Amino acid sequence: MGNELFIIGRNPVREALISSKVTHVVLSDSFSDKSILELINLHSIPVKRVPTSYLDKNYDGVHQGIVAFIKPYEYIDLNEIIRRSKQVKVPIIIMLDGINDPHNLGAIIRSADVFNASGVIIGKHNQVPLNATVAKTSAGAINYVPVAVVNNLNQAIAKLKENGFWVVSTDGSANISYSEIKYDFPVCLVVGSEGNGVSKLVLKNSDYIVKIPQFGHVNSLNASVAAAIMLAEIRR
């Protein structure tokens, strides 16, 4: 296995095959999913058959009889995300401030695809990168949602504002409910980590700071759930 990047599970592998990300696959002896086998043949992907016990021993998680080795995920330039956003009537770009859980990042990318966000911006530091766990959690959306890495989130905010975006950050201490904003403008949605939230300077540079009202006993929402709620409201 070495340091090669791999993903497991039928849906993530299927999307990676469609997107031409796969270099080779390892299948269990009993694997027989016709649609995936057809994609493997279509793209002339090298295949190795092994006992299911081998996959169980060497790959953690629910592999469903297939492991795909893939090319490294590529980031794109922020300017390219901005360019793509101009093709959408009311564009959304998601900025993540210190998301360190790959499951959260993957789920946010999945929601970004569902609600047609133009891209995701992450910081170079204190942020989980694109990896196999992110890919699996995204259910293949990682192949369709562009992700840009920037050195400084606040400089990225300045560039977004120059291009007509309004910055909406989520914070539990806000005085405005997320449903009070009309969202009839290009939106940069900022979501922070569960532990630290959105950083003070990013909040200062935001045009709106909103909260999602909570009525239960737990005083926080999972970052990916908060992002999905916000995206649904913005699109609504």
- Domain containing residue 42: CATH number: 3.30.1330.30
Q: Does one domain contain both 37 and 53?
A: yes
Share of the chain above pLDDT 70, in %: 97
Last residue of a domain, one of 70, 90, 116: 70
Averaged over 126-139, what is the pLDDT? 86
Examine the domain organization and report whether 107 and 142 are in the same domain. Answer: yes
226-161-229 Cα angle (round to 5): 15
Q: Model pTM?
A: 0.85
- Containing structural domain, residue 28: 6-70
Q: In whole angstroms, what is the distance from residue 156 CA to residue 178 CA?
A: 23
Residue 3: pLDDT band (50, 70, 90) is low
What are 95-108's pLDDT values in tens digits?
999 999 999 999 99
Domain count, the chain: 2
Q: Give the 3-state secondary structure of residue 123.
A: strand
User: 215 with 178, same domain?
Assistant: yes
Q: Which of 152, 172, 148 is nearest to 77 (CA)?
A: 148
pLDDT at 1: 45
**142/221: higher pLDDT:** 142
Domain final position from 70, 97, 113: 70
Residue 44 and residue 143 in one domain: no
Residue 1 domain-assigned (yes or no): no
10, 81, 95, 170, 208 from 160: Cα distances, Å: 37, 10, 11, 17, 14
User: What one-letter code names the amino acid at 4?
Assistant: E
**Which parts of 67-222 fold into alpha helices (H)?**
78-85, 102-114, 132-137, 153-162, 200-204
